[in-house]
Amino acid sequence: MHIHSASYNTIKKKMKQVISSEKRPIKMWLDEIEENALTQAKNMANLPFVHKHVALMPDAHMGYGMPIGGVLATKGVIIPNAVGVDIGCGMCAMRTNIEDADSETLKQIMSQLRKLIPVGFTWHKKAQDEKYMPQSDELPMLVERHITKAQQQIGSLGGGNHFIEIQHGSDGFIWVMIHSGSRNLGNQVAQHYNKIAKNLNERWHSTVPASYDLAFLPIETEEAHAYMKEMNYCVDFAFANRRLMMERVQNAFMEVFKGEVEFNDLINIAHNYAAWENHFNENVLVHRKGATRARLGETGIIPGSQGTKSYIVEGLGNPESFESCSHGAGRVMGRKQAQRELDLETEIKRLDDKGIVHSIRNRKDLDEAAGAYKDIDTVMANQTDLVKVKVELEPLAVVKG
C-alpha cells in the first residue's frame, strides 16, 4: 500500500469545493463546472458501489456518461463507459540533447514526420512488423477479431485532440511529446462491452438508471473478466502505438540532424483506464477517464492546448484525488461550437506571434485551436496539491490529428 499521510501532511490543501448533496461527496479541484458535467458527477455520486467519493480534476468537462477529468473508485464492479472509447489513450515524452532548432529545421522535421506517421483517419497501407505489437500468449476475442487492422494502425496518430509536438523545455533542451490512444481497437472494445453491460443491467432490473449511461459489470462475472483482458490489451496497444511513433520521430530527427542527436528515456502515461489499487485501506477499481495517476514521486505529463505550455510533473500522492491529477487543459467549447464561434484569424495570429509551426488553415481546424480549451495556467494553479512541476515546455511545432 502507498504511504499517504506523511507526505500529504506537508501539502497545502487546494481542493476547491465539496458537493455534499448526493449519496457520496463530489470533491472538485475547479471553481466552475458546466451543468451537464456536474449532472454526470452527481449521477456517479449516487451509484451504489462508489468508494468514498467522486473526484473531479481541474480540467473536468462533460463526457459520455462520466465527465472527462473524472476519477471514480468502485467496489466490486467495472464500468466500460467510465473508461471510455479510447482505452489507454495517453501521453509520452522524450528529451533530446538539442538546445535549439530554427523554423526551417522544424519544418524539415515536420515534413519527415508526415511521411512516416499517418494522421487523422489514415493508417499504414501495410501491416507493421509484429515485433511492435504487445506480446500476448492468447489474444482476447475482440482484439483477435480486429488484430489485422490494428497492425496497420499501430504507429498512427488518429484524429481529434491527438498530436505530436516539438517543444522547448525550461531545462534548456528540445523535447518531443505525443498524445494518442488505441485507435479503433479501443473503440470496438468499449462499444461492445458497454452494450453487454446495458443489456445485463436491464435484465437484472438494476437500480442504476439507464439514463446515467454508466452500465456496470460485477467483477466476478465472465463478462467483466473478458472486458478487463480486452481493456488491458488496449492499454498495452496504445503504449505500443505511441512508442512506435516516437521511434519514427527519432528517425526524423536523425535524418534532419544527420545523426547528431541523443534521446533520454521515454516517459509514458495513460489517462483512460481502470486498475486495481488500494485507497483508504480497501482494494478498489479506480476508473480514470481523462485523468492521470499521480502517486508520490511518480513522473507525469500534462499537456496544454495548441499554442500553450505543457508540463512534466511529479506526483504528490494526494489521497483525496485517489492519487490523480488532470490529463490536460480540458475543453471549454465543444468541437462544433469552436468551429462556429472562434475567430480563425485570431487563432492563427495567436500561434504565428509565438513563432509556432502549425497547421490551422481553415474553420474546420478551429475545433483544436487554443481558444477551445481552458487556461492551462489556471488548471495547473488548481492542482498544486496534486503535482509539482519539473519542466515547463513551450510549443515550437505541432502536428494535429
Catalytic center residues: 327
Give the span between the Cα atoms of 342 and 345, in whole angstroms.
Answer: 9
The three three-digit cell numbers of residue 309, written as one number:
505550455
- Identify the CA nearest to 216 among candidates 197, 191, 199: 197
Q: Backbone phi, then psi, for 209, in 5-degree steps?
A: -60, 140
Q: What is the rounded CA–CA span in Å between residue 329 and residue 57?
A: 10
Whether residue 362 contacts residue 322, with contact meaning beta carbons closer than 8 Å, is answered with no
Helix (H), strand (E) at residue 150: helix 141-153
Element (H, E) at 312: strand 310-315
Any idea of the CA torsion for 238, 244, 247, 251, to the nearest 10 degrees? -130
The answer to whether 359 touches 400, Cβ cutoff 8 Å, is yes
Q: Per the structure block, which three cell numbers stand in for 196?
A: 453487454
Q: What angle do CA 314, 319, 320 make, to 5 degrees?
A: 110
Report the alpha-carbon distance of residue 375 to residue 332 in Å, rounded.
9
**By the 8 A CB rule, do 331 and 160 touch?**
no
Q: In what order do the strands lie in the sheet with 90-95?
A: 267-270, 90-95, 174-180, 163-169, 387-400, 310-315, 299-302
- Strand-by-strand arrangement of the 282-289 sheet: 17-19, 26-28, 50-61, 68-74, 282-289, 272-279
3-state DSSP of 248-277: HHHHHHHHHCCCCCCECCCEEEECEEEEEE
b (16+ CB within 10 A) / e for 40-52: bbbbbbbbebbbb
